[in-house]
Amino acid sequence: MVGCWQSAVGANALRRRLPTVDRRPARRGFSLVEAAFAVAIVGVAFVAIMQLWATCTQSNRVASNTTAAIMLASQIQDATRPLPLSDPASGHATFGEEIGETTSSYDDVDDFNAKTFSPPIDSNRSAISDLDGYTQSVRVVPVNTLDLDGNLDGTAIPTSTYTGAVRVTVTVFHGQTEAASLSWIRVER
């Protein structure tokens, strides 16, 4: 019995002296290749995000320019809306502004023909200096009341022909780039 007790004591002492075995998996760092792959993936993602951001910014800028241009075309439409097709003094004798007329004194629709406004003007014909990067270009052509889609290029019906109707087209440029165009028909009231 004594021998057995001594043997048990010896085994316990030996167990205490032995190092504990860590059975968890050994930790391993990233290799250089793995790190390089990670950097490459992050780089590609960063470039893609930057390209997407640039595209969105460009799209927003174009949309903003188009909105401003449509508004400026509408200003010409509003400016000409109350005007007759014939000059109150000279009638149909002149297609375009009469001698001595200026933007503020235009009194019929075709006075606006072949005019450009830069800075653009509002419906009261006042310059909009805040939008001086835009230009309104106006064209007025006569149209046949039975063919309102005709004379698109303005050559089929000479401006000396009074038809009782005109097509007004306003093209708005932002810098040198066309940003919007608006056309409408006006008939003699």
Question: In the complex, which residues of this chain contact Ca ion (CB under 5 A)?
Answer: 87, 98, 107-108, 111
Alpha-carbon Rg for the chain in angstroms: 40
Instruction: Point out the residue whose Cβ comes nearest to Ca ion.
Output: 87
CB of 92 to Ca ion, least distance (A): 11
Nearer to Ca ion, 55 or 90 (CB): 90
Contact 97, 80 (CB under 8 A): no
| Local structure of 184: helix, strand or coil | strand
Nearer to Ca ion, 101 or 122 (CB): 101
72, with CB counted inside 10 A (0-12, 13-18, 19+), is buried
How far, in Å, CA of 119 to CA of 125, rounded? 11
Contact 83, 101 (CB under 8 A): no
CB of 183 to Ca ion, least distance (A): 21
Nearer to Ca ion, 87 or 174 (CB): 87
CB of 161 to Ca ion, least distance (A): 18
CB of 138 to Ca ion, least distance (A): 14
